[in-house]
Structure 1
């Protein structure tokens, strides 16, 4: 029952008793209850972040263009998880941005997924920066906002300054994990490589060079070459003690290079990519390891899809926007997902309309910008998704 309706019912009931004084008292009490402050946020431990059943619904937003409150209003739900990106180590501006994100999550969401990007290289991940991060996370946790830290994602790619450096990456990740685990009990660590189709992603600025120790570590079959036959994930894994969640971004870019055409995704593509059985993108990806079986089932880690969406290029012809996106979210949110992938605990939609260098053009990844797509998306959202609370909470002690 809405609060305004509650006030009306109490007042009418009191007047029916014929006691003006009683009516006044009950009306005042109802008004006080209607204006009561929001509940205090529950401070969670990292062990409590994964739901017992179903999956948390998350979103990647351009926070400045589309605040979380606006997105929640369009969607009709508060997301359980909201994704934020920041360089690491971060400066004062980055520190303020982190607090802004936490404040938005506290008001209109539940949990923050913080993606840290060491854009200056792994050597910039100093002990001082790590300790400052852990202290900030502890304060954010104490304010009622749990955090999942996705440190240096897509480290198996060749396009980031931290890419294809397994020894340095594992060392840096473990230092971050140790500090977070010791100082911020409401924060968890996520390890999130890039989907291995196309590995070893030759031609990137940071690809491993033959003759180096990194190249040797990545040559898992020992044949002196890096090919798709080498394990795209295992050399970068920091260890079960350092990893709380595992994640993998899975997009529908198209069925083959070059990207940029508007194409409806093939049936079963999402599940096939997650399990290493996808045969597409212009080649056979079935040499890719089964990510879900190895890291979700065998190692028992909650699995996340921290980014997903389907490419729609408004500057190109081809398939219709709704047909493309609905075919993809129909796979991502299929009724069979909880039964087939019970370790899948978080799915986050990439809600951006942006220029993508891969096609040198615009891509609209969103589901809420146009009425027709938004109505179809919200109608198709399954009941096994887990959402944020229906009302805002306040920081403990505020």
Structure 2
């Protein structure tokens, strides 16, 4: 999503989805009767990277297509929100074991069925059952900048794009999310726009630099070249230099950066957010990667198209793949069949995650207002795919409340109104994952 350009509203996000193999419930348990799409959300339905004020003032697109999207939501079981804890919440999510309420910062009696959901790793937890198979340090093949103590499941490092609060949700910091889930995110996604003809100052990104630094995680800024490609060519690289200089401000603070320059380029050039053609994107990528190499050489270049066809990926493949450090796809499925992630990701992984390049998901979530159970299925499907995709190293969840609630982590309620909320516990690296409602995306 695009972020507001004022310091108080500098965040937002987009997401896409893919499929995975059958280690999940039968197909009938995944089918969403409300889904009329063909397997994944189309970017045209949602622009997570742009805040409402930007879409209105700059007329990037018409969001009327959302009026026909699914409005009903299965929020799951809820308990009352009191003093930062949820009371009387004992949900049995089909196939995922029992969920009991968090009390005084701890979570109790979380058993795990096939999906390996478990309780928070709080020192106050009772009857906690941890599977040591999910614990341990990252393997030697993992990128060194990923934090050894970061959240992970099946050796897949996990993180979020926190809600910037500009699209109807409540502003989140990563510090708040880490506190809510009792663990530390490994990756941190955020958005910024680089307007053609306006030198990029990075204010949208710098607004969160203290939160990023405190997180001790990998920063994944999505820098979006809107309005045109001025300064992003071989003859004029001024905007590329400006982008690299902003990235250097983060690396100078010891923050590892994976730059998602012009993410979802294959979609955004169809809706007018990015101008030009695939050749313009390739020239822009070359200019930015060259500037990064010269000015901020520790920054990794992260190529993340929107979920699409193999021909479409090839059309937007950078001319010099040695300038690409990480590859990935943004993906938000419109339904779950049980194999969505691997069906959509395996070939891309096998083709592009070679020659030392790693694969990561820049952003994901559900492409409809699914239930907490749906979110858990999708989350676990992604994590299980690690077994079939050895270069798969990290995933970031789009943790926004926008057209609907995409969130999987953090309380959904405003404490002052005591709205009901629920917490999802997903076991990773000896700790567990707390979360909340639904979220959507486009591909």
Q: TM-score, normalised by structure 1?
A: 0.61
Q: Distance in 1 between matches of 2:248 and 2:399?
A: 28
Helix, strand or coil: the match of 2:243?
Answer: helix
The structure-2 alpha-carbon separation of the partners of 1:292 and 1:322, relative to structure 1 and needing over 3 Å to count, comes to same
Q: CA deviation at 1:332?
A: 1.3
Q: Distance in 2 between matches of 1:322 and 1:76?
A: 19
1:193 counterpart residue number: 305
From 274, 277, 285, give the equivalent of 2:345: 274
1:17 counterpart residue number: none
RMSD: 3.0
The structure-2 alpha-carbon separation of the partners of 1:170 and 1:164, relative to structure 1 and needing over 3 Å to count, comes to same
In the comparison of the two structures, how many residue pairs are matched?
Answer: 268
Q: Distance in 2 between matches of 1:51 and 1:107?
A: 12
Helix, strand or coil: the match of 1:118?
Answer: strand
**Larger relative contact order (Cα-Cα within 8 Å, sequence gap ≥ 6):** 2
Q: CA deviation at 1:350?
A: 0.6
From 106, 114, 117, give the equivalent of 2:213: 106
Q: Distance in 1 between matches of 2:240 and 2:252?
A: 18
Helix, strand or coil: the match of 1:304?
Answer: strand
- Residue correspondence of structure 1 range 165-180 to structure 2 within 5 A: 165-180=277-292
Question: What residue ranges of structure 1 are gaps of 5+ in the alignment?
Answer: 1-45, 198-229, 255-264, 276-289, 314-319, 356-362, 388-398
Q: Distance in 2 between matches of 1:301 and 1:51?
A: 18
Could you tell me whether the CA contact under 8 Å between 2:191 and 2:204 is conserved in 1? Answer: no
CA deviation profile, 1:67-104 (whole Å, cap 9, x unmatched): 22111111212211111100014969963332222211
From 373, 382, 394, give the equivalent of 1:323: 373
- Bigger proportion of residues as helix: 1
2:350 counterpart residue number: 293
Q: CA deviation at 1:374?
A: 5.8
2:264 counterpart residue number: 154
- Residue correspondence of structure 1 range 129-278 to structure 2 within 5 A: 129-157=239-267, 158-162=270-274, 165-196=277-308, 231-238=311-318, 239-254=320-335, 265-275=336-346
Is 1:87 paired with 2:193? yes
Whichever of the two has the greater Rg, that structure is: 1
The structure-2 alpha-carbon separation of the partners of 1:51 and 1:146, relative to structure 1 and needing over 3 Å to count, comes to closer
Q: Distance in 2 between matches of 1:327 and 1:66?
A: 24
Q: CA deviation at 1:153?
A: 1.2
1:360 counterpart residue number: none
Helix, strand or coil: the match of 1:88?
Answer: strand
